[in-house]
Amino acid sequence: MISILRSMWLTFLHVFHKTETVEYPEVKPYLAPRYRGRIVLTRDADNNERCVACYLCAAACPVDCISLQATEGKEGRRYPEFFRINFSRCIFCGFCEEACPTYAIQLIPDFELAEYDRQNMVYEKEHLLISGEGKYHGYNFYKNAGVDMGVKRKGEGDNEEKPVDIKDLLP
């Protein structure tokens, strides 16, 4: 009996609390930087595409909403020929971001994706690709990778040793 009255009193005290909700279209809610919203493809600091078309995001996607096709540029650098995300199927789980080895695919705090035509929910590469670096600044996959793609010479990376000269006996 006392506990019932106490819970009623505590509920009544909520009259003096601040409301948790906001009037949405006029007042935008605060979204944390790590909020999982719309998916974007980012570029590195040299304005090149980060994506190397490794298909890991498409493999990780639980609802199979990502589809892409890899191709190679003049220097042999891989990039996606097309990259398509169907946002009407996407569940914003963020697995693609976790799977991505080059920080190319990222989820940003934007959720206003409503469309009248369902076909407009399918985003192509030109819609997805942004001109900035997203959440991870200064990261370039080819600075850490072993291959030479014009970013750095072989063995000149930060945590990288010189390649072993196989014609020399000295260590």
Q: Which residues here bind another protein, judged by CB under 8 A?
A: 4, 7-8, 10-12, 14-15, 17-23
Q: Report whether 45 contacts 132 (CB < 8 A).
A: no
CB of 30 vs another protein, minimal distance in Å: 16
Structure tokens at 171: 């260590």
Minimal distance in Å, beta carbon 131 to another protein? 38
Nearest distance in Å: CB 92, another protein = 24
Of the two residues 14 and 153, which places its CB atom closer to another protein in the complex?
Answer: 14
Q: How far apart are CA 140 and CA 84, in angstroms?
A: 23
- Closer residue to another protein, CB minimum distance, 9 or 116: 9
Residue 71 bridge partners (DSSP) = 79
Structural contact between residues 90 and 39, judged by C-beta atoms closer than 8 angstroms = yes
Give the nearer residue to another protein in terms of CB position, either 10 or 166: 10
Residue 79 pairs with which residues in a beta bridge?
71
Distance in Å, CB of 14 to another protein, minimum: 5
R_g over Cα of the chain: 24
Residue type, 147: V
> Which is closer to another protein, CB of 18 or CB of 74?
18
